[in-house]
C-alpha cells in the first residue's frame, strides 16, 4: 500500500470539495426547477467555468481506449514501411487549435517515429504559423536527428483552397515551386520523385473547416486513390462519417479522438512514455463539463414540464 | 457588355475546368487557369483588407458611434501589415518565411491573434451550456429522440459513460454507453449525414450546371434566372 | 468617462503592470522581460474577450476590433508572400524574382496560348486581381464582376465533377451494403444471437439502419410528392434518423466548444499564472 502524501491528500480533498460544490449547486438548481424557478444565465456560466477550471487545477486525467475509426489511422501509419511519404496538411486556425493541435502533434510524432518522410503544407494561412508550434514542440525537441529537407519539409501555405488541391493533384511542383523558405523544390532530397499527390502513401488533413478533410477527399483522395485520413474539430466530425471507410481511412474526431490516439501511441511506444499528453489532460475537464451539461438538460426539462403542468392547471 | 463578358468568362473557365479533368492534353491549361484562380484569391484577401480600412476610416471620419475602436482596428491592421510586408525582425533575409519564429509578425500572431481568436470561440462553451438549459426540451417525440442521442453521445465520449455501464456482461456489451455512442455515430448518424450529403451534392451539381450554362446569373447582379 | 470606468481602467492597468513584473521574475532566459510582457498581453486579451460573459464592455470591444484588424492583415501578408511572391513573381519577372530571392522559372515555357509567351499569359490573373480591387471604388465596382465571374466559373467547374463523383455516386454505392452479414442460415443466426457489439446481429442491424436511414432520409427531403401512405411512413422514419444525426452533432458540438474553453483556461493557468505544470 502506498503511503498517502500531502499532495495526494490535498488533491483528493480538492476533488471531493469540487464535486460537492458542483453536485450541491446542481441539486439546488434541481430543487428550484421543481418549484418552477429559473436561474440567471450567469449562474449557468459560472457552473461551466468551475466544472472546467477545477479538474484542470486538480489535474484529473483518464485512460482512453481507441475506437475503431481512430485505430484505423494509427494502424495505417504504423503498417506503412519506413520511409513512406506522408503528406500532412495543417488546415486550421487558433479557434480550432485547442482540439486540432494535440492531434497534429501526436500524429507528426508517430509519423517521424516510424521513420516516414513527412511533407507538411497548409491550405489555411494560419496553418503556417500553427505548424511552427509542432515544429518547435515536437520535431525539433524530440527528433533532434531529423534533418530538414531529408526527413521532413515545410512547404507552407498557398491561397486558393480547392484550386490548390486541383493543381497538386496532377502537378505538385507547379503549385509549390519552393518550400516555405523559398528553397527550390529540386534541392530538397525528400521531394525527389514526387510529381503529384499520387506519389504519396498517405495524406492526413488536420483541420475542421473549409477547406479541410472533405476537400482533400473530394479533390485528391477520390480522383487519385491515395488514402486520405483526417483529424478534425468535433463540430465537423459527424459530417465526415459517410466517407469512412470507403473514401477515408481514419478519423480523429475532437479532443476525444486526440486523447485516444495519444493514449494508444504512448502505450505502444515505451520510449515516449514521458511525452506530453495535452488531449488526455483535457479529457478531465471535458468529462466533468459534459456531466454538468447533461444535468442542465435534465434540470431544464424538469423546469419545462413543471411550468407546463402549472399552465395546464390554470 | 457589363453582363455578357463576365457571363462568357464563367462559361469558358467552367467548361475548361470540366474538360481539362477528362482530357490529359488540356490538363496543363486547366492547371494554369486554376493557378490564376489561386492568385486572384490573394487579391480577394487584399480586397478584404481594403474594405476593412474603408469601413473603419469612414466610421472614424464621420465620428459614428464607437468610432474610437476603429482606431484600434486600423492600428492593428497597419502594424500587422507593416510587420508582415517588411518582415520586421525576421531572423533571416527576405527569403525566410514571413511566419518565422522571432519575427514581429509571428510575435503579434502568437500573442494577439491566437489568444483573441481562440477565446472568441471558447465563449461558445458558455452559450452552448446555456442553450442546453433553456432550449433543449423534450417537447415532442422527435425532440426526445434528438435529446436521447445527444445524451448518449455526451456520456459516451467521456470515461464517465464507461464507468456507468461497465457492469453489463460481455454478451450485451452493445448496450454499454460508449459502444452505443460509437454505433450511433457509425450507423444512424452516418445514414442521416449521408442523406444530407447526397442532397447537398445534388444541389451543388445542379447549381454548378446552372452557372456554367449561364442560367444562373444572380451573382452578376441580376434577379432573373 | 464615468468615475467607475476610470477606477476600473486604473485597476486593469495596475493588474497588468503587476502581472508583468511577477511574470518577469518567474521567467528564465535572455528575454524574460519581453516574454513576460507578451504572456501578460495574451492573458489580458483572453480576459478582455471573456469579459463579454458579463456584458458588452469597452475592453471586449477593444479586443474584438484589434482581432479584426490583425486577422485581415495576417491573411493579406501570408497570401502575398506565399502566393504572389511564391507563385506569380517567378513566372512573370526575373528582376522581381531576384529582388525577392525566389528561383525564376520563366525560362521554361509551360504553356503557349495563341503564341503568347509565358510571362504575358500570367498577366491575366494580375489584371483580373486589380479589377477585383476596383470594387473598393463605387463608380467602377461593376468591373469587378469579371474576376468574380472567373472565380464563380472555376468553382462551378471544379465542384460539378467532384461533388457528383464523391458526394453522389460513391455515397449511393456505399449505401448498398449487405443486409445479411456472415449469413449461414436462420438456425445459425438464432444460435449466435446476442447483443455483443461486434456480433452478427448488430452488424446486420447497422447495415439495415444505414440502408433504410439513407433511403428514408432522402424521402424526407423529397417534396414533389405528398408525404402520405408508405411514403409518409418512410418520411417519418427519415425524420427520426435525422433527429438522431442532429443529436449526435449537438453532442460533438458541446465537446468541441468545451475543448476550446479548456484550451484557454490551460493557457491562463499554465502559461500566465504558472499554477499547473503541463
In tens, the pLDDT along B119-163 reads 999 999 999 999 999 888 888 999 999 999 999 999 998 888 888
Is B49's pLDDT higher than 90? yes
* A-interface mutation test, from C258, C264, C265, most A Cβ less than 10 A away: C258
- Dihedral Cα C122, C123, C124, C130, nearest 10 deg: 130
Grid cell locating A118: 513527412
A174, A180, A287 ranked by CB distance to B160: nearest = A287
**Per-residue pLDDT tens for C216-251?**
999 999 888 888 899 999 999 999 999 999 999 999
Task: Tell if the CB–CB gap between A64 and B159 is shorter than 8 Å.
Answer: yes
Closest of C183, C145, B2 to residue C192, by C-alpha: C183
pLDDT at B71: 96
- Closest Cα in chain A to B189: A238
In degrees, rounded to 5, the angle at the alpha carbon of residue A76 between the alpha carbons of residues A255 and A143 is 70
Band of pLDDT at residue B223, cut at 50, 70 and 90: very low
DSSP structural state of residue A186: G
Which chains border C (3 or more CB–CB pairs < 8 Å)? A, B
* DSSP 3-state percent helix, strand, coil across chain A (nearest 5): 60, 10, 30
- pLDDT value, residue B225: 39
Residue in B33, B123, B190 nearest the CB of C154: B33
3 state SS of A232: strand
Q: Which of residues 162-201 of B touch C (CB under 8 A)?
A: 170-176, 179, 181-201
Q: Per the structure block, which three cell numbers stand in for A41?
A: 444565465
Residue C112 is predicted with a pLDDT of: 58
Spatial separation of the C-alpha atoms in residues A64 and B61, rounded to whole Å: 57
Residue C116 pLDDT class (50, 70, 90 cuts): low
Continuous segment of H or E residues that includes residue A204 = strand A202-207
Q: Could you check whether the bond before residue B113 is cis, i.e. omega within 30 degrees of 0?
A: no
For residue C39, the distance in angstroms to the closest alpha carbon of chain A comes to 16
pLDDT at C142: 87
Question: For A205, phi and psi rounded to 5 degrees?
Answer: -105, 130
C-alpha cell of residue A123: 491550405
* pLDDT number for residue A20: 87
What number is the average pLDDT over the span A215-224?
A: 95
Q: Distance between CA atoms of C191 and C170, rounded to whole angstroms?
A: 36
Minimum distance, in Å, between the CA of residue C164 and any CA atom of chain B? 6
Answer yes or no: is pLDDT of A1 > 50.
Answer: no
C-alpha distances (whole Å) from A123 to each of A249, B105, B191 are: 21, 19, 29
**pLDDT one-digit tens code per residue, A116-171:** 999 999 999 999 999 999 999 999 999 999 999 999 999 999 999 999 999 999 99
What is the 8-class DSSP label of residue A4? P
Average pLDDT over residues B24-30: 86
Q: Tell me the three cell numbers of residue A258.
A: 486526440
Q: Are C67 and B117 in contact (CB under 8 A)?
A: yes
* Residue spans of alpha helices (H) in chain C: 3-26, 32-50, 58-79, 89-92, 94-100, 118-121, 123-133, 145-162, 170-175, 186-191, 200-221, 229-266
Phi, then psi, of A119 in degrees rounded to 5: -110, 115
Nearest CA in chain B to C36: B111
Taking all residues of chain A, what is their mean pLDDT, rounded to a whole number?
Answer: 91
For residue B207, pLDDT beyond 50:
yes
Predicted pLDDT at B15: 93
DSSP helix/strand/coil, C112 = coil
Is the N-terminal amide bond of B43 cis, ω within 30° of 0?
Answer: no
- Condensed to tens digits (0 to 9), the pLDDT of residues A266-298 reads 999 988 888 888 999 999 899 999 999 999 999
Residue A271 is predicted with a pLDDT of 87
How much is the pTM? 0.93
Q: Please name the member of B81, B171, B182 whose beta carbon is closest to the beta carbon of C76.
A: B81
CA distance A132 to B35: 26
| Residues of chain B positioned with their CB less than 8 A from the CB of C122 | 36
Q: B212 vs chain C: nearest CA distance in angstroms?
A: 6
A98 and C75 within 8 Å at the Cβ level: the answer is no
What's the confidence (pLDDT) of residue C113? 59
Other beta carbons within 10 angstroms of residue B129's beta carbon come to 26
Torsional sign, CA C205, C210, C213, C215: negative
Q: How confident is the model at residue C108 (pLDDT cuts 50, 70, 90)?
A: low
Q: Tell me which residue in B37, B96, B130 faces A160 most closely, judged by beta carbons.
A: B37
**pLDDT exceeds 70 at position A10:** no
Q: Provide the shortest C-alpha distance from residue B23 to chain A (in Å).
A: 13
The residue-averaged pLDDT of A230-241 equals 95
| Interfacial B residues in 75-94 facing A (CB < 8 Å) | 92
- List of chain B residues whose C-beta atoms are within 8 Å of the C-beta of residue A287: 158-160
CA of A184 to nearest chain B CA: how many angstroms apart? 11
List CB contacts (< 8 A) between A61 and chain C.
none
CA distance A35 to chain C (A): 27
Tell me how close the Cα of C201 comes to any Cα of chain B, in angstroms.
10
Residue A78 has what pLDDT?
94
Indicate whether A5 pLDDT > 60.
no
Residues 13-42 of chain B with CB under 8 A from chain A are 17, 27-28, 30-31, 34-35, 37-39, 41-42
Chain C nearest CA to B209, separation (Å) = 7
SS3 content of chain B, % helix, strand, coil (to 5): 75, 0, 25
List, for residues C130-173, the tens digit of each pLDDT value.
999 999 998 888 889 999 999 999 999 999 999 999 999 999 99
Measured N-to-C along each axis, helices B67-85 and B27-61 cross at an angle, to the nearest 10 degrees, of: 140
Least confident of B13-27, C38-52, C76-90, C255-269: B13-27
Of the candidate ranges A36-45, A118-127, C74-83, the one whose mean pLDDT is the lowest: A36-45
- Chosen from A44, A71, A95, A177 to mutate, greatest number of chain C CBs within 10 A: A177
Q: What angle do CA C14, C15, C21 make, to 5 degrees?
A: 90
% of chain A exceeding 90 in pLDDT: 77
Report yes or no: C245 and B146 within 8 Å, Cβ to Cβ.
no
Chain B residues 54-113 with CB within 8 Å of chain C: 54, 56, 66, 69-70, 72-81, 83-85, 93-95, 97-99, 105, 107-113
Q: What are phi and psi of C270, to 5 degrees?
A: -90, -60
CA atoms within 13 A on the CB side of A281: 20
Cell of C194: 446476442
Q: Which of C53, C166, C254 sits opposite A45 (nearest CB)?
A: C53
The average pLDDT across A86-109 equals 95
CB-facing half-sphere around the CA of B218: CA atoms within 13 A: 7
Cell reading at C75: 491573411
For residue B165, name the pLDDT band (cuts at 50, 70, 90): confident
Distances (CA, A) of A279 to A195, A282, A285, A293, B171: 36, 5, 11, 20, 32
Chain B neighbours, 3+ Cβ pairs < 8 A: A, C
pLDDT tier, B216 (very low <50, low <70, confident <90, very high otherwise): confident
> Is the Cβ pair A97, B41 closer than 8 Å?
no
Pairing of strands A228-232, A202-207: parallel
Does position A9 have pLDDT exceeding 90, yes or no?
A: no
If pLDDT is split at 50, 70 and 90, which confidence band does A299 have? very high
Whether B85 and C80 have beta carbons less than 8 Å apart is answered as yes
Q: Which residue bears the cell 493557378?
A: B35
Beta bridge partner(s), residue A184: A178
Q: Using the beta-carbon criterion (under 8 Å), do A52 and B125 form an inter-chain contact?
A: yes
Residue B218, classified by CB atoms within 10 Å of its CB into exposed (0-12), middle (13-18) or buried (19+), is exposed
Residues of A with Cβ-Cβ distance to C256 under 8 angstroms? 99, 233-235, 254-255
Question: Hey, what's the cell of C244?
Answer: 438522431
| Cell numbers linked to A130 | 500553427
State residue A189 phi and psi, 5-degree precision: -55, -30
pLDDT score at C118: 62
Cross-strand pairs, B31: none
Q: Is the peptide bond before A245 cis (omega within 30 degrees of 0)?
A: yes
Amino acid at each position: 500500500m502506498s503511503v498517502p502524501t500531502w499532495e495526494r491528500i490535498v488533491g483528493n480533498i480538492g476533488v471531493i470539495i469540487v464535486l460537492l460544490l458542483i453536485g450541491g449547486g446542481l441539486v439546488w438548481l434541481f430543487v428550484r426547477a421543481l418549484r418552477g424557478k429559473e436561474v440567471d444565465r450567469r449562474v449557468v456560466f459560472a457552473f461551466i467555468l468551475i466544472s472546467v477550471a477545477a479538474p484542470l487545477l486538480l489535474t484529473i486525467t483518464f485512460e482512453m481506449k481507441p475506437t475503431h475509426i481512430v485505430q484505423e489511422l494509427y494502424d495505417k501509419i504504423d503498417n506503412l514501411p519506413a520511409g513512406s511519404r506522408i503528406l500532412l496538411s495543417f488546415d486550421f486556425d487558433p479557434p480550432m487549435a485547442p482540439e486540432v493541435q494535440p492531434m497534429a502533434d501526436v500524429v507528426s510524432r508517430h509519423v517521424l517515429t516510424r521513420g516516414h518522410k513527412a511533407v507538411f503544407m497548409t491550405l489555411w494561412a494560419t496553418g503556417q504559423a500553427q505548424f511552427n508550434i509542432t515544429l518547435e514542440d515536437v520535431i525539433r525537441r524530440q527528433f533532434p536527428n531529423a534533418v530538414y529537407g531529408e526527413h521532413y519539409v515545410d512547404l507552407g501555405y498557398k491561397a486558393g483552397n480547392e484550386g490548390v488541391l486541383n493543381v497538386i493533384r496532377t502537378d505538385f511542383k507547379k503549385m509549390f515551386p519552393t518550400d516555405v523558405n523559398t528553397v527550390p523544390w529540386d534541392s530538397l532530397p525528400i521531394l525527389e520523385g514526387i510529381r503529384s499527390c499520387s506519389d504519396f502513401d498517405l495524406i492526413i488533413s488536420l483541420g475542421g473547416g473549409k477547406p479541410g478533410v472533405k476537400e482533400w477527399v473530394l479533390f485528391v483522395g477520390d480522383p487519385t486513390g491515395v488514402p486520405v485520413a483526417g483529424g478534425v474539430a468535433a463540430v465537423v466530425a459527424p459530417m465526415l462519417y459517410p466517407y469512412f471507410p470507403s473514401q477515408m481511412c481514419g478519423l480523429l474526431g475532437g479532443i476525444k479522438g486526440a486523447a485516444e490516439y495519444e493514449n494508444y501511441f504512448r502505450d505502444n511506444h515505451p520510449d515516449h512514455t514521458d511525452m506530453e499528453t495535452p488531449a488526455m489532460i483535457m479529457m478531465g475537464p471535458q468529462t466533468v463539463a459534459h456531466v454538468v451539461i447533461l444535468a442542465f438538460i435534465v434540470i431544464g426539462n424538469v423546469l419545462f414540464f413543471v411550468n407546463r403542468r402549472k399552465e395546464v392547471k390554470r | 457588355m457589363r453582363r455578357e463578358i463576365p457571363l462568357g468568362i464563367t462559361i469558358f473557365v467552367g467548361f475548361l475546368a470540366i474538360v481539362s479533368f477528362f482530357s490529359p492534353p488540356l490538363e496543363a491549361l486547366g492547371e494554369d487557369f486554376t493557378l490564376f484562380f489561386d492568385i486572384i484569391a490573394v487579391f480577394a484577401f487584399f480586397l478584404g483588407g481594403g474594405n476593412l480600412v474603408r469601413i473603419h476610416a469612414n466610421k472614424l471620419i464621420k465620428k459614428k458611434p464607437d468610432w474610437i475602436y476603429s482606431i484600434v482596428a486600423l492600428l492593428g491592421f497597419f502594424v500587422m501589415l507593416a510587420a508582415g510586408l517588411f518582415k520586421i525582425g525576421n531572423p533571416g533575409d527576405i527569403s525566410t518565411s514571413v511566419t518565422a519564429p522571432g519575427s514581429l509578425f509571428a510575435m503579434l500572431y502568437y500573442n494577439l491573434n491566437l489568444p483573441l481568436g481562440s477565446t472568441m470561440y471558447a465563449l461558445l462553451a458558455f452559450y452552448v451550456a446555456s442553450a442546453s438549459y433553456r432550449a433543449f426540451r423534450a417537447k415532442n417525440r422527435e425532440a426526445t429522440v434528438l435529446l436521447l442521442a445527444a445524451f448518449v453521445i455526451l456520456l459516451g465520449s467521456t470515461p464517465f459513460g464507461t464507468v456507468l455501464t461497465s457492469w453489463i456482461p460481455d454478451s450485451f456489451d452493445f448496450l454499454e454507453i460508449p459502444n452505443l455512442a460509437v454505433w450511433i455515430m457509425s450507423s444512424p448518424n452516418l445514414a442521416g449525414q449521408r442523406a444530407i450529403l447526397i442532397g447537398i451534392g445534388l444541389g451543388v451539381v445542379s447549381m454548378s450546371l446552372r452557372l456554367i450554362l449561364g442560367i444562373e446569373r444572380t451573382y452578376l447582379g441580376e434577379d432573373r434566372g | 468617462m464615468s468615475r467607475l470606468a476610470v477606477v476600473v481602467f486604473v485597476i486593469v492597468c495596475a493588474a497588468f503592470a503587476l502581472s508583468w513584473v511577477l511574470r518577469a521574475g518567474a521567467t528564465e532566459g535572455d528575454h524574460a522581460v519581453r516574454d513576460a510582457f507578451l504572456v501578460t498581453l495574451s492573458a489580458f486579451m483572453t480576459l478582455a474577450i471573456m469579459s463579454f460573459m458579463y456584458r458588452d464592455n469597452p475592453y471586449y470591444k477593444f479586443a474584438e476590433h484589434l482581432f479584426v484588424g490583425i486577422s485581415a492583415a495576417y491573411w493579406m501578408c501570408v497570401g502575398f508572400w506565399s502566393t504572389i511572391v511564391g507563385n506569380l513573381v517567378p513566372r512573370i519577372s526575373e528582376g522581381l524574382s531576384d529582388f525577392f530571392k525566389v528561383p525564376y522559372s520563366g525560362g521554361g515555357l509551360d504553356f503557349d496560348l495563341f503564341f503568347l509567351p509565358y510571362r504575358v499569359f500570367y498577366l491575366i490573373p494580375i489584371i483580373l486581381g486589380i479589377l477585383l480591387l476596383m470594387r473598393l471604388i463605387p463608380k467602377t465596382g461593376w468591373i469587378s464582376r469579371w474576376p468574380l465571374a472567373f472565380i464563380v466559373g472555376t468553382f462551378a467547374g471544379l465542384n460539378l465533377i467532384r461533388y457528383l463523383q464523391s458526394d453522389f455516386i460513391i455515397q449511393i454505392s456505399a449505401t448498398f451494403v449487405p443486409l445479411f452479414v456472415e449469413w449461414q442460415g436462420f438456425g445459425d443466426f438464432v444460435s449466435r444471437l446476442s447483443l455483443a457489439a461486434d456480433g452478427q446481429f448488430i452488424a446486420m442491424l447497422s447495415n439495415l439502419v444505414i440502408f433504410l436511414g439513407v433511403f428514408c432520409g432522402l424521402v424526407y427531403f423529397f417534396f414533389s410528392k405528398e408525404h402520405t401512405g408508405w411514403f409518409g411512413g418512410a418520411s417519418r422514419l427519415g425524420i427520426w434518423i435525422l433527429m438522431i444525426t442532429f443529436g449526435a452533432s449537438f453532442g460533438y458540438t458541446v465537446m468541441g466548444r468545451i475543448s476550446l474553453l479548456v484550451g484557454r483556461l490551460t493557457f491562463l493557468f499554465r502559461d500566465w499564472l504558472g499554477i499547473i505544470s503541463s
